[in-house]
């Protein structure tokens, strides 16, 4: 029996890895956003929220049934776009906003491409 949604499951594995990293090294987010020292705790908390969410949703995307994978992928795309909005409002510098947008929209696009590829493959194999 073939594995359903292989690209979606693979990108979910990458998202889970980021989630673990965000939980282990939450300070990475403030560093990437070039935040002031007084903002460190807030960014650390945000990174932990991202980590818990990404690990939880990604586990469904990796291990779940087809319907669960589809839900996880749609959730990941929406979450990445919400992360973009959140980080853009927090950044004061245009360079940092550009970097945050590129990364979050890039992940949304990768998730979308994997999901679309899997859906097209599923439709083609019937």
Q: For 5-43, how does the pLDDT look when each residue is reduced to its tens digit (9 = 90+)? A: 999 999 999 999 999 999 999 999 999 999 999 999 999
Q: What is the pLDDT of residue 2?
A: 59
Q: What is the pLDDT of residue 3?
A: 75
- DSSP character string of the chain: -PPSSHHHHHHHHHHHHHHHHHHH-THHHHHHTT--GGGHHHHHHHHHHHHHHHHHHHHHHHHS-HHHHHHHHHHHHHHHHHHHHHHHHH--SHHHHHHHHHHHHHHHHHHHHHHHHHHHHHHHH-
Q: What is the pLDDT of residue 1?
A: 46
Domain residues for the domain of 48 are: 6-125
Q: What is the pLDDT of residue 57?
A: 98
Q: What is the pLDDT of residue 33?
A: 97
Q: What is the pTM of this model?
A: 0.92
**Could you give the number of structural domains in the chain?**
1
Within-domain flag for 1: no
pLDDT tens readout for residues 48-87 = 999 999 999 999 999 999 999 999 999 999 999 999 999 9
């Amino acid at each position: 029996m073939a594995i359903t949604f292989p690209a979606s499951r693979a990108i979910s594995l990458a998202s889970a890895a980021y989630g673990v990293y965000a939980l282990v090294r939450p300070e990475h987010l403030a560093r990437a956003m070039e935040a002031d020292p007084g903002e460190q705790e807030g960014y650390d908390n945000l990174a932990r929220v991202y980590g818990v969410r990404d690990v939880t949703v990604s586990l469904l995307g990796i291990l779940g049934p087809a319907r669960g994978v589809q839900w996880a992928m749609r959730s990941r795309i929406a979450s990445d776009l919400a992360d973009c909005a959140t980080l853009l409002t927090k950044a004061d510098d245009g360079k940092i906003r550009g970097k945050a947008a590129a990364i979050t929209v890039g992940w949304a696009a990768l998730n979308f491409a994997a999901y679309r590829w899997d859906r097209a493959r599923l439709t083609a194999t019937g």
